[in-house]
Structure 1
Amino acid sequence: MGKIEWAMWANEQALAAGLILLTGGIVGVAGQFRDWEFAAYGIAAGVFVCLLEYPRGKRNKGTSVERTGQYCLTVCVKVFGPVTSNYFVRAGMHAAICIPAAFILSTVLGCVCLAIASIIYLTAAIHGEHWMPILPRKEPPKQSAGGIEEPPQNPPPRPPAEVRRKRLEDLEGAAYVNPIPVTANEV
Structure 2
Amino acid sequence: MGQIEWAMWANEQALASGVILLSGGIVAVAGQFKGWQFGAYAIAAGALITLLEYPRSKRKKGSTIERCGQKHMTAVVKVFGPLTRNYYVRAFLHAGLAVPGGFILATVLGTVCLGIAAIIYFVAAVCGEEWRPIEVREEPKLKVSETIKRPPENPPPRPPPEARRKQADEGHANPTVVQDEV
Short-chain TM bin: 0.7 to 0.9
Map of 2:91 onto structure 1 = 91
AA at the equivalent of 2:173: A
**Would you tell me which structure has more helix in proportion to its own residues?**
2
User: Could you list the per-position Cα deviations for residues 28-75 of structure 1 after superposition, in whole angstroms to 9, with x for gaps in the alignment?
Assistant: 000000000000000000000000000001100141111000111100
Corresponding residue number in structure 2 for 1:184: none
The whole-number CA distance in structure 2 between the counterparts of 1:21 and 1:148 is: 52
Indicate the residue corresponding to 1:107 in structure 2: 107
Aligned to 1:142: 140
Q: CA deviation at 1:169?
A: 8.8
Q: CA deviation at 1:143?
A: 5.9
Asked if 1:76 is matched to 2:76, the reply is: yes
TM-score when normalising by structure 1: 0.78
Alpha-carbon distance, 1:141 to partner: 1.7
SS of the residue 1:15 aligns to: helix
TM-score normalized with structure 2 length: 0.80
**1:142: Cα distance to partner?**
3.2
Q: Deviations 1:117-161 (Å, cap 9, x if unpaired)?
A: 000000000000000011322xx223689x8759xxxxxxxxxxx
Identity of aligned pairs, percent? 56
Indicate how the Cα distance of structure 1 residues 143 and 126 shifts in structure 2: closer, same or farther if over 3 A, else same.
same
Alpha-carbon distance in structure 1 between the residues aligned to 2:103 and 2:162: 75
| Alignment equivalent of 2:160, drawn from 153, 165, 169 | 165
Runs of 5+ consecutive residues of structure 1 not aligned to the other structure: 151-163, 177-187
Aligned to 1:57, the other structure's residue is in SS state coil
Segments of structure 2 that go 5 or more residues without pairing to the other structure are: 150-158, 176-182
Q: Max radius of gyration: which structure? A: 2
RMSD: 2.7
Distance 1:166 1:11, change over 3 A: same
Whole-Å Cα distance in 2 between the matches of residues 68 and 23 of structure 1?
22
* Shift in Å, 1:22: 0.4
The number of aligned residues is: 161
